[in-house]
């Protein structure tokens, strides 16, 4: 069955937007990525389950993304179906100390809702331009905080469309790691717990974190956040700078002069450019510092 026939059938069976041969550069913060065979944006969990059942019936591989802020998509694109979890699953509800958030909710929006409710512990999320689902999968964090510490319950579905629930005791989080990434599931929502605090104090901490981010990160160019994980007890950015890689450039991808662990797209950069500069930086850091840097960015598609 051709991709065009699959696209027509899918659009008839699911009412949410479906795109055929969609350029993934439109859906990643690096503005990089070739076409996805099919890309859809579920309006709700029912759309998501219908899409998963359809993909399973037709033997289509499924790739799930959020805002695409921590992704490197191949220049050749992604085969099968890409499901973008966004506004259709972005509800947020505060119940006492608990916040119920959909996987598609943005982290800055979640931080603001927590602040308005007088709940502390979410301030560090204000400067992370991702979604709740992606943050849970990789245990996103900043300023010595991480989202995993806030989790009380996670709702998800498997790739057959079955609903699942995990309580905090069933989950493991560590630095840029969540056991959710190993379970072959799609996160649909989470219950997080905050600590009561004065709104003004929460607001001041958020302002401090945002000002620090603006000062230290190259927000004026497309980027994917930290490219490498920090080695234990050290900083990837410091090692990259020490190895003499700051401002290194391959094609239109440059190691940022402002923060060496951020690689910016100066315009028209490709996944091939990113991979080449990643390999060069890894080689130089290992040679000069004796440390093998590990990617934090996730690779998707046909490399």
Residues annotated as catalytic are: 176, 226, 296
Residue 97's SS3 state is: coil
3-state DSSP assignment of residue 152: strand
- Backbone dihedral angles phi then psi of residue 135, each to the nearest 5 degrees: -65, -40
Residue 45: closest CA among 184, 151, 185, 189: 189
Cα angle 239, 181, 71; round to 5: 55
Length of the chain: 303
First to last CA, the chain: 24
What strand order describes the sheet that includes 249-250? 249-250, 253-255, 263-265
Q: Which two tokens stand for residue 16?
A: 């949410």
For residues 230 and 54, give the distance between their C-alpha atoms in angstroms, rounded to a whole number. 40
Q: Among positive and negative, which fits the CA dihedral 236, 295, 267, 273?
A: positive
256 and 262 in contact (C-beta within 8 Å)? yes
């Amino acid at each position: 069955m051709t991709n065009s026939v699959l696209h027509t059938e899918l659009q008839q069976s699911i009412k949410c937007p479906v795109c055929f041969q969609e350029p993934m550069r439109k859906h990643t913060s690096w503005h990089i990525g070739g076409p996805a065979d099919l890309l859809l944006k579920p309006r709700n969990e029912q759309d998501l389950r219908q899409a998963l059942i359809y993909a399973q019936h037709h033997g289509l591989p499924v790739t799930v993304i959020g805002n695409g802020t921590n992704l490197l998509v191949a220049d050749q694109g992604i085969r099968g179906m890409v499901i973008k979890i966004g506004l259709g699953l972005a509800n947020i509800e505060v119940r006492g100390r608990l916040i119920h958030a959909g996987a598609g909710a943005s982290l800055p929006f979640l931080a603001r809702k927590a602040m308005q409710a007088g709940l502390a512990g979410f301030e560090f999320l204000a400067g992370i331009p991702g979604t709740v689902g992606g943050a849970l999968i990789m245990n996103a964090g900043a300023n010595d905080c991480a989202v995993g510490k806030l989790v009380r319950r996670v709702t998800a579905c498997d790739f057959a469309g079955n609903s699942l629930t995990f309580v905090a005791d069933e989950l493991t989080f560590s630095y840029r790691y969540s056991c959710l990434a190993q379970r072959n599931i799609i996160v649909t929502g989470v219950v997080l717990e905050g600590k009561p605090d004065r709104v003004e104090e929460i607001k001041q901490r958020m302002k401090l974190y945002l000002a620090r981010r603006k000062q230290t990160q190259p927000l004026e160019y497309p980027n994917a956040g930290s490219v490498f994980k920090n080695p234990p007890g050290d900083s990837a950015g410091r090692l990259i700078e020490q190895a003499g890689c700051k401002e290194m450039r391959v094609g239109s991808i440059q190691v940022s002069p402002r923060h060496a662990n951020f690689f910016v797209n100066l315009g028209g950069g490709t996944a091939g450019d990113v991979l080449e500069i990643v390999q060069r930086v890894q080689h130089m850091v290992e040679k000069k510092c004796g440390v093998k840097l590990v990617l934090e960015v996730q690779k998707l598609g046909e490399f």
